[in-house]
Amino acid sequence: MPSDLCPDLQALAPLLGSWVGRGMGKYPTIQPFEYLEEVVFSHLDRPFLTYTQKTRAITDGKPLHAETGYLRVPQPGHIELVLAHHSDIAEIEVGTYSVTGDLIEVELVTTTIGLVPTAKQVTALGRFFRIDGDEFAYSVQMGAVGQPLQDHLVAVLHRKQ
């Protein structure tokens, strides 16, 4: 664990670093797809972790999605995530986390979604992270373009060596 990591974040220290892997997406309004992904958690000696995420197509390496944000722990067991997406969406998610040995589980629900006028209508988002040693699995749920909240993305990443 980094010696300069804020004490509030120590339980989440196993997130720090780069994670790479593959994921799959689906939604009623699009064709199912697969993607390659890299997620990076880092810190700036402040009471939050920084988060960046990039995906690209498996077939041709073309960029698909990117988001960046900040994750903080306002009190033990509680977590907040602020994100900006490349697709004209900003979101605030709040939730809980638990740590059992090497296992960290995080569950987040969006409380606020900001959209630029030309963005697709996204009405709900939620995330679940499961970090077990050097494996980071997640799922994302989305409600958008008239569809209810439902499964959208699932991925398994591994710590980049």
- Is 152 annotated for ligand binding? yes
Domain that holds residue 21: 5-157
| Domains: count for the chain | 1
Torsion of CA 27, 148, 20, 131, to 10 degrees: -140
- Per-residue pLDDT of 30-44, as tens digits, reads 999 999 999 999 998
Hey, what amino acid is at 11?
A: A
Where residue 92 sits, what CATH number does that domain have?
A: 2.40.128.20
Cα angle 65, 8, 157; round to 5: 30
pLDDT of residue 3: 66
Cα–Cα distance between 14 and 1 in angstroms, integer?
8
pLDDT of residue 159: 98
Q: For the chain, which residues score pLDDT lower than 70?
A: 1-3
pLDDT of residue 145: 95
pLDDT of residue 45: 82
- Per-residue pLDDT of 78-87, as tens digits, reads 999 999 999 8
Nearest to 125 by CA among 106, 138, 112: 112
In the DSSP assignment, the letter for residue 88 is S
